[in-house]
Amino acid sequence: MTDINPLFPENAVSLVKEHLTPALFNDLKGKRTKNEFTLEQAIQSGIQNPDSSIGIYAGDAESYRTFSKIFDPVIESYHGCPGSPIHRSDLTRPDLSDSVLSSGRVRSFRIRVARNIANLPFPPLVGSTDREKVEERTVNALQELKGDLGGSYYPLGELTGAKRKELAQKHLLFEKGDRFMEAAGINRDWPDSRGIFVSNNQKFAVWINEEDHLRIISMDKSGDMMGTFDRLSRALVFLEKRLTFARDPRLGYLTSCPSNLGTGMRAGVHMHLPDFNNQRALLNTTAEKYNLQIRGSHGEKTEVLDGIVDISNRQRLGITEKQCIETLHRGVCAIIRTTGTDWTTGTDL
Ligand code: ADP
Ligand code: MG
């Protein structure tokens, strides 16, 4: 196509490349937010990585207004709601009578939400002083948590040896970001002011200053979906009283990557699909049909190892938190049906 912006490599597949015409680029290239974030910074990751699926990041809350002409079509395409998706929130418990998540196929259940503190630049732009403020305010709030949410904070720069290994093995650790995050500016000053708060029972964690200021995580190995959702809801109610998060009436919680807007929620399972290599096409078709995302065993853009696949809701804006869980549940049921043995009963379907 001739009307594609020449800034992007020819083989780039990102949504930003698809929507950023030369005319739009010229219209937006001179604009900047009050924090001096530019379009060129926003699209760096998409320019440097032809395999980016989105390719544009926000440097602050204002980016979504200043560059709305490019963010809006990307947001509509990603979240699958033409005509501007609107944020809706519902943290009531989903009603899942026949949870398959306790089946042997599901090895663990994880829900995370992304949040950023209002009036501070987001990770692609934040400077060291503001990054320190994020860490300090968040840790102060988390240290007030009691009961099953109470725990300890580990600054990443000091996290070494056995504890680091243990957290990595339990999927609670985050490492320096990949080339997509590197190009977006998220890895600057690594590992300063980054850290992980983990509850004593290791079912609740908060990642500080990763891709967003906060990634709030609830996990469970037994597939206890309700318990995992309740724990996350309680943590959110608590944190909302102590921190003010960046949010917008239309776009919901504001995040570095537009794929996380709205609820900021990715609810997923690690599922064991022993025949993954042969069932890849079938899995992709089912995932597409049920609006799910497939990731590797160690997260986004990683390989599937030993048949452990990460399956989660794809849409996060224009859908409530409750619906994120229901979407996942419906999809996982379908995947179990289409890929063979039901491990709850041990029978072939
Ligand atoms: P996100 O950015 O949505 O939090 P990533 O794809 O970056 O997720 O993965 C972050 C980490 O979370 C990785 O270590 C991944 O293995 C782990 N993870 C994701 N889903 C699960 C799950 N259901 N159970 C256990 N760990 C998980
Ligand atoms: Mg991630």
Q: Ligand 1, residue 112: give the atom nearest the CA.
A: 4
Q: At 43, give phi and psi (nearest 5°).
A: -105, 5
Going by CATH, does the domain composed of 15-79 fall within 1.10.135.10?
yes
Whole-number Å distance, alpha carbon 210 to ligand 2 midpoint, is: 8
Return the pLDDT at 102.
Answer: 59
| Alpha carbon distance 68, 298 (integer Å) | 33
Q: Ligand 1, residue 300: give the atom nearest the CA.
A: 6
Whole-number Å distance, alpha carbon 298 to ligand 1 midpoint, is: 6
Collapsing DSSP to helix, strand or coil, 288 comes out as helix
Q: At 321, give phi and psi (nearest 5°).
A: -60, -45
In this predicted model, what pLDDT tens digit does every residue of 115-140 receive, in sequence order? 999 999 999 999 999 999 999 999 99
Task: Answer for the pair 228, 23: CB distance below 8 angstroms, yes or no.
Answer: no
> Domain coordinates of the chain in residue numbers?
15-79, 100-348
| Alpha carbon distance 186, 39 (integer Å) | 16
Of 114, 11, 9, the C-alpha closest to 57 is 114
Ligand with smallest separation from the Cα of 303: 1
In this predicted model, what pLDDT tens digit does every residue of 214-242 receive, in sequence order? 999 999 987 788 899 999 999 999 999 99
Of 155, 189, 188, the C-alpha closest to 174 is 155
User: One-letter amino acid identity for 92?
Assistant: T
In this predicted model, what pLDDT tens digit does every residue of 296-338 receive, in sequence order? 999 998 999 999 999 999 999 999 999 999 999 999 988 988 8
Identical fold between 15-79 and 100-348? no
| Alpha carbon distance 167, 175 (integer Å) | 11
Q: Ligand 1, residue 299: give the atom nearest the CA.
A: 6
Return the pLDDT at 105.
Answer: 83
In this predicted model, what pLDDT tens digit does every residue of 14-23 receive, in sequence order? 999 999 999 9
Of 247, 266, 241, the C-alpha closest to 324 is 266
Task: Map tokens 């500080």 to a residue.
Answer: 208
**Mutation to probe ligand 1, out of 208, 212, 225, 270 (largest number of atoms < 8 A from CB):** 270
Whole-number Å distance, alpha carbon 299 to ligand 2 midpoint, is: 7
- Is 50 exceeded by the pLDDT of residue 70? yes
The conformation of residue 103, written as its DSSP 8-state character, comes to: S
Of 268, 270, 202, 263, the C-alpha closest to 233 is 263
Least confident of 71-80, 87-96, 203-212: 87-96
Ligand with smallest separation from the Cα of 260: 1
Return the pLDDT at 344.
Answer: 42
Whole-number Å distance, alpha carbon 214 to ligand 1 midpoint, is: 14
Strands 292-295 and 308-313: antiparallel
| Alpha carbon distance 323, 217 (integer Å) | 18
How far does Cα 113 stand from its chain's mean position? 7
Going by CATH, does the domain composed of 100-348 fall within 3.40.1180.10?
no
Least confident of 25-39, 76-90, 112-126, 278-292: 76-90
**pLDDT average, residue stretch 271-291:** 91
Sign of CA dihedral 294, 300, 302, 307: negative
Q: Which protein residues touch ligand 1 with a CB less than 6 Å away?
A: 108-110, 112, 171, 215, 219, 266, 268-270, 295, 298-300, 310
Ligand with smallest separation from the Cα of 186: 2
Contacts of 254 (CB under 8 A, 6+ apart): 58, 61, 64, 116, 122, 246, 247, 248, 261
Task: Answer for the pair 314, 291: CB distance below 8 angstroms, yes or no.
Answer: yes
Transcribe 193-231 into DSSP letters.
Answer: T-EEEEETTSSEEEEESSSSSEEEEEEESS--HHHHHHH
Contacts of 301 (CB under 8 A, 6+ apart): 178, 180, 295
Return the pLDDT at 96.
Answer: 77
Whole-number Å distance, alpha carbon 348 to ligand 2 midpoint, is: 35
Residue 308, both tokens: 């452990």
Q: Ligand 1, residue 301: give the atom nearest the CA.
A: 6
